[in-house]
Amino acid sequence: MKLLTALLAIVLGVGGIVVFFWALNGVVERFLPERWRETARPWVFIGPAVAIVGLYLLFPAVDTIRRSFLGARSADFVGLDNYEYLVTNPAVRSTIWNNVLWIVVVPIVSVAVGLAVAVLADKLKPRWENTAKSMIFLPMAISFVGASTIWGFVYAWRAQGQPQIGILNAIWTGLGGQPVAWLNQQAYNDFLLMVIMIWLQAGFAMVLLSAAIKNVPGDTIEAARIDGATEVQVFWRVVVPQIKSTIVVVGTTILILVLKVFDIVLVMTGGNFGTDVVAHRFITELINNRQNGRAAVIVVFLIVVTIPFMISNIRRFREQEATR
């Protein structure tokens, strides 16, 4: 019965969609003047998708903006109080500063590592190239929570005199140092958390950049070598300019992902010791503090910050399409 129900659902679902679009197309063909048909027909097919996007994306966004002007229970109008909290609260300012560090460090280092691996692996034989790339790409299959758990064992700390199960402390104490609670050190604990994100995203950057490098015309590289350019000059003056658009897209994609990251902070430190980020602050305000209005204004802040990068990606995509 379960199998029969599943088959009926597939047949009726797919068949219903086909009949739905066929009927809409018939309405256009039968009732609209011929000069309007070509304009209306694309909207027949993309209209339902646009309506669904509007319902599930635009409406929640607009409702979130509305709630950002309401109080803790989304009942009383409080004006700009939540926005004032976002700007003036010291803990929130520290959180935003941490996010700025993440935005600057993680995309740049991830792209740099991915580009380096893509270039170096390209020099290997195909068999070893595939092996090396697979090893770098493997962390992409791990969730943020899983990766944080793995790195938790790397940064683990125990008091002096106890066995150090953390790899980093085991090495440090083996060299004669004292055990260090790495994630408690505000001077560098943010960067230790960023290492996890870089470890996860370097494989993504490598795959796309490797494909871009392989599409660089060999004629331009050979011409540069004939003109006496060194391999370093070929890379920076011939290869990089031709894959610049891919570098920008990869960096922007990772940057947007960084703005949404909260899993790593939640698992590793819970936002303590000066490691909080904006997305995790949203969880704290919404669930722990029961402050719906403050949580909403944080989401509005993320939307405003993300929009310019999305526009940049769209413009870059259009430029690429125009040059084809």
Q: What is the pLDDT of residues 52-88, one digit of tens each?
A: 888 888 888 889 999 999 988 888 898 888 999 888 8
Higher pLDDT, 54 or 145: 145
Residues 172 and 301 both lie in one domain: yes
Does position 320 have pLDDT exceeding 80, yes or no? no
Residues 134 and 30 both lie in one domain: no
Handedness of CA 95, 96, 100, 106 (dihedral sign): positive
Gyration radius of the chain over CA positions: 26
Structure tokens at 148: 């944080």
Q: Is residue 67 part of a domain?
A: no
294-306 average pLDDT score: 89
Does position 134 have pLDDT exceeding 70, yes or no? yes
pLDDT in tens, 35-53: 788 888 888 888 888 888 8
Total Cβ atoms within 10 A of residue 50? 11
Residues 111 and 246 both lie in one domain: yes
pLDDT in tens, 235-244: 888 888 888 8
pLDDT in tens, 185-235: 888 899 999 999 999 999 999 999 998 888 888 888 888 888 888 888 888
Domain limits for position 37: 2-50
Residues 19 and 163 both lie in one domain: no
Mean pLDDT of the chain: 87
What total of structural domains would you count in the chain? 2
